[in-house]
Amino acid sequence: MTHHRPDDHTGGLAAVLAHPDDESFGCAGALARAHDAGRVVRLLVATRGEAGQPEGEDDPSFADLREDELRCAASKIGFTEVTVLEGYPDGGVADMPFAELVDEIALWLGDRRPDAVITFGTHGITGHPDHVVVGSATRWAVERLAETGIAPHAIYVMAPVFGPGTKRYDLSPEEGAASHRIDITEVAGRKIAALACHASQPDAAQEAAEVQALLDRDGVLYEGYTRVRPAVPNPHPKFDTRLV
């Protein structure tokens, strides 16, 4: 699912996530804004999302459907490249050898040299074990790259404190308070459209409706992030407003 050769460009912003749809829930707005600002925007996803089938169904082509939905969302957001790792089962990433996952992420990042990386914080927003382990492995991968002097300048974790689902989850401290608040109002329609691409996932449609309602109510929409590497103190009195 690679759209361009990785050596076409380096730099920019890369998201390392677990499932098709994580990008639309989590960081579509900031990524769309980075794309519009002329940055290279990439996505690495650990699984094909095959566990997201309706209860009781077992359709072997379901993973293809979810990849198609991801491709749809990627076109709304403006990804330069989307890569799906091979061999990691949806729901079972934490059962795979952790060091190999770190190796694969480090290799992918090392080839592309993004300026900054977005991933999951320590509770993975929803607590999903795939989210938690991908976030952890990504941070280990960046530390490994730092040893050879090619680490991204920053790691941000998604801090969904401005979205509609904030109260739903047991967020870790780094996810429950944002160091960066990104105004995504001008690309809100594309975040909603990206969520709508994931038509097999009822919660994505619900999120799209709730994001739209929030936008209608406030007239403005934000995504929150916390920079965890290098660590920064809490912002005061103004938020930073860009990631790269």
Can you give the binding site for Zn ion, defined by CB under 5 A? 18-19, 22
Between 19 and 227, name the residue whose CB sits nearer to Zn ion.
Answer: 19
Between 90 and 174, name the residue whose CB sits nearer to Zn ion.
Answer: 90
Q: Cα dist. 224→106, 162, 242 in Å?
A: 25, 6, 10
CB of 123 to Zn ion, least distance (A): 13
CB of 234 to Zn ion, least distance (A): 27
CB of 90 to Zn ion, least distance (A): 9
Asked if residues 141 and 109 have their Cβ atoms less than 8 Å apart, the reply is yes
CB of 64 to Zn ion, least distance (A): 18
Between 115 and 210, name the residue whose CB sits nearer to Zn ion.
Answer: 210
Asked if residues 67 and 20 have their Cβ atoms less than 8 Å apart, the reply is yes
| Side-chain-facing half-sphere of 193: CA atoms under 13 Å | 13
Between 22 and 174, name the residue whose CB sits nearer to Zn ion.
Answer: 22
Angle between helix 188-197 and helix 202-218 axes, rounded to 10 deg: 160
Shortest-Cβ-distance residue relative to Zn ion: 19
Cα distance between residue 106 and residue 96, in whole Å: 16
| Side-chain-facing half-sphere of 153: CA atoms under 13 Å | 7
